[in-house]
Amino acid sequence: MAEDMARTDRLMRLMECLRRLPAPVTAARLADETGVSLRQLYRDIATLRAGGALIDGAAGVGYTLTEDSALPPQSFSRLEIEALLLAVAELRHMGDGDLSRAGEAAMARIIATLPERQSQQALHAVMRSFRETRQRARPVIDMDMLRAACWDETSVVMTYRDLQDRVTQREIWPLALSYSDQSLMLLAHCRMRQDFRLFHVHRIICASPGGSSFRPRRAGLLREYRRRWLEECPEHKRSG
């Protein structure tokens, strides 16, 4: 079972490289990107072809993914394509490399499903995002763990240094991450304070899974937080 999962993961990485890298991609580049030998790479290409993926090219020439049978056909207007590309480009300013790479991989999969004309439009987009990125203090904790805790609605135990340099340990229910030019903030329900708190993620000294679940309370807690926020900031209320 573990061997089958490793093989599936390897083939998915290979497909992602074929979608993302400028074509034609050499076998050596694909082998390096996926961490396999050239012999294994050729076998994996053959496996993908047998599964229905249309991959043009050969050893010594390079490979091009011309049709991805794993993805349904899609269609977007030119403006929609440009909007998606701009959104993915903005992720580079978030200071979260994993998030940026995830956006680029998703965009590559989308482009792989477009008709030829729209695929060319994506390659020759006219809108660009150029702006100075402010250097944000980088988190020292495992962001994958923190994101997973938000998604799975499980608690996190963390050691936190507040703005007065006081260090406390507390268990929280992580609700949402907020990205801005200046900071990365975590909205959570603090079990010690029994209330909502906004934490500077770069001030979290260490964090680990807490082991308890707060499902299905996340949606209700977010509604309660928004209600309080609107009461405290009446200018944000919608008219009517």
Domain annotation covers residue 136: no
Tens of pLDDT, residues 174-227:
999 988 777 889 999 999 889 999 999 999 999 999 989 998 898 899 999 988
Same domain for 112 and 186? no
First-last CA distance in the chain: 58
Query: What pLDDT shows up at residue 3?
Result: 58
Domain annotation covers residue 227: yes
Q: Report the share of the chain in percent with pLDDT over 70.
A: 89
Q: Report in angstroms the alpha-carbon separations of 49 from 44, 46, 53, 68, 84.
A: 9, 5, 5, 10, 29
Same domain for 86 and 22? no
d(CA 99, CA 87) in angstroms, rounded, equals 12
**What is the domain-level CATH number for residue 211?**
2.30.30
CB 179 within 8 A of CB 94: yes
pLDDT of residue 239 exceeding 50, the answer is: no
**What is the domain-level CATH number for residue 6?**
1.10.10.10
Q: What is the dihedral of CA 73, 77, 82, 85, to 10 degrees?
A: -20
Nearest residue to 136 via CA among 168, 176, 92, 169: 92
Domain annotation covers residue 130: no
d(CA 37, CA 40) in angstroms, rounded, equals 5
Give the total residue count for the chain.
Answer: 240
> Residue 104: which region, alpha, beta or left (left: phi > 0; alpha: psi -120 to 50)?
alpha
Tens of pLDDT, residues 84-98:
999 998 888 777 888
Domain annotation covers residue 167: yes
Same domain for 216 and 179? yes
Which of 67, 88, 107 is the last residue in one of the domains?
A: 67
Can you tell me which residue has the tokens 């580049």? 29
Domain annotation covers residue 19: yes
Domain annotation covers residue 201: yes
In eight-state DSSP terms, residue 203 is G
Structural domain count of the chain: 3
Domain annotation covers residue 73: no
Q: Which residue range is the domain that position 118 belongs to?
A: 78-123
Residue type, 95: G
- What's the mean pLDDT when you consider all of the chain? 84
Same domain for 85 and 62? no
Q: Using 50, 70 and 90 to split pLDDT, how confident is the model at 237?
A: very low
In eight-state DSSP terms, residue 76 is -
Domain annotation covers residue 186: yes
pLDDT of residue 70 exceeding 60, the answer is: no
